Amino acid sequence: MLDIRGLQKTFNTGSPDEVRALRGVDLHIESGSFVAVIGSNGSGKSTLLNAVAGGFMSDEGRIELAGRNVTRWPEYRRAKLIGRVFQNPFSGTAPHMTIAENLALATRRGQAPRLGWALSRHLRQTFRERIRALAMGLEDRLDNEIGTLSGGQRQALTLLMATWLKPRLLLLDEHTAALDPKTADQVIRLTQTIVAGEGLTTLMVTHSMHQAVNLGDRLIMMHKGRIIRDIGAAAKKRLRAEDLLEQFNEVRRADQLDPGTAEMLRDLYV
């Protein structure tokens, strides 16, 4: 479904702030699999997601999605294939527009907007039913501005919007990081229901060891712009949060060696 080859990206090239965010990422994701991505700050995990979404053009490499080479596609064109939920609950919805208007935009993801009415009675009825299933008490607030909702409610709606038309790939970028634990839990359960129910191919970046271990059927660990661990379904089932923490510490210890030695050790042992 998603095929990434040799992806590289450097920000602020040639300036003192130069950041080599992606240093040659190869990744192949099968249709219907749910991949969690974990890594420390600055490891490039969010950059990888953004590169797939088209937030910037990569310097090197090739991204193939659903059999199409999308490497040079602008962000809005890739949105036809991709549903997205952002880390910041404010990013995924238009705050000064109503719930119904936001959802109406989502029902036409990937289509050029034309002059038909955005809302209809039938559409509003469908919205009400789908929102009732979220169990967040929003079904009677279709005409409230989204800006008046809590972060958790917004993330739940964004998730609903991203998957309203079945996306070929769902990108979740630490989508519970800004929520309190209880709400995060609610959004995660909703994520599981939707992903499993629709059999969505999903790439989820997370900061939470707990989520990384318990969600999905494959785990990828990133470090310094590369994928350093790729744990498949069978090994992941046995994985515990402590194991993951141990692996993190290992990486950190390796970091304290000089880069050349670290490279050599990585070649030897990874």
Partner 1 sequence: MSLLLGSLTIGLILALLALGVYISFRIFNFPDMTADGSITLGAAVAAILLVHGIAPIVATLAGAVAGAAAGAVTGILHTRFRINGLLAGILVMTALYSLNLHVMGRSNVPLLATASLAKEAEALGRAALGGQSAFNCFGWEVSVSDMAMLVLAGMATVAVCIGLYLFFRTNLGTAMRATGDNPQMIRALGVNTDTMIVIGLALSNGLIALSGALLAQYQGFADVQMGIGMLVWGLASVIIGEALVQSRGLAMTIAGAVMGSVLFRLMVAIALRWGLNPNDLKLITAVFVFVALILPGLAARIRRRKEAAGCA
Which window, 9-17, 38-46, 109-117, 176-184, contacts partner 1 (CB under 8 A)? 109-117
The Cα 130–Cα 126 span in angstroms is: 6
Which window, 103-111, 180-188, 191-199, 215-223, contacts partner 1 (CB under 8 A)? 103-111
What residue has token string 């088209």?
A: 54
In terms of Cβ atoms closer than 10 Å to its own Cβ (0-12, 13-18, 19+), residue 8 is middle
Q: Decide whether 34 or 164 has the Cβ nearer to partner 1.
A: 164
Spatial CA neighbour of 172 closest among 30, 52, 42: 52
* Least spacing, CB of residue 215 vs partner 1, in Å: 22
Q: Which residues 149-208 are close enough to bind partner 1 by CB under 8 A?
A: 161-162
The Cα 53–Cα 146 span in angstroms is: 24
Confirm or reject binding of residue 93 to partner 1 (CB under 8 A).
Answer: yes
DSSP 98: B
Q: Which residues 53-82 are close enough to bind partner 1 by CB under 8 A?
A: 53, 74-77, 79-80, 82
Binder to partner 1 among 48, 106, 157, 204 (CB under 8 A)?
106
Instruction: State the DSSP string of 166-193.
Output: --SEEEEESTTTTS-HHHHHHHHHHHHH
Which residues, at least 6 apart from 254, have a Cβ–Cβ distance to it below 8 Å?
Answer: 262, 265, 266
Which window, 18-26, 95-103, 193-201, 250-258, contacts partner 1 (CB under 8 A)? 95-103
Q: Decide whether 94 or 235 has the Cβ nearer to partner 1.
A: 94
Would you say 21 and 56 are in contact if contact means Cβ atoms under 8 Å apart?
no
Identify the sign of the CA torsion 53, 57, 61, 64.
positive
* Least spacing, CB of residue 80 vs partner 1, in Å: 5
Binder to partner 1 among 1, 19, 66, 105 (CB under 8 A)?
105
State the number of binding residues for partner 1 (CB under 8 A): 38
Q: Decide whether 81 or 251 has the Cβ nearer to partner 1.
A: 81
Residues near partner 1 (CB under 8 A) = 53, 74-77, 79-80, 82, 84, 86, 90-97, 101-102, 104-106, 108-119, 145, 161-162
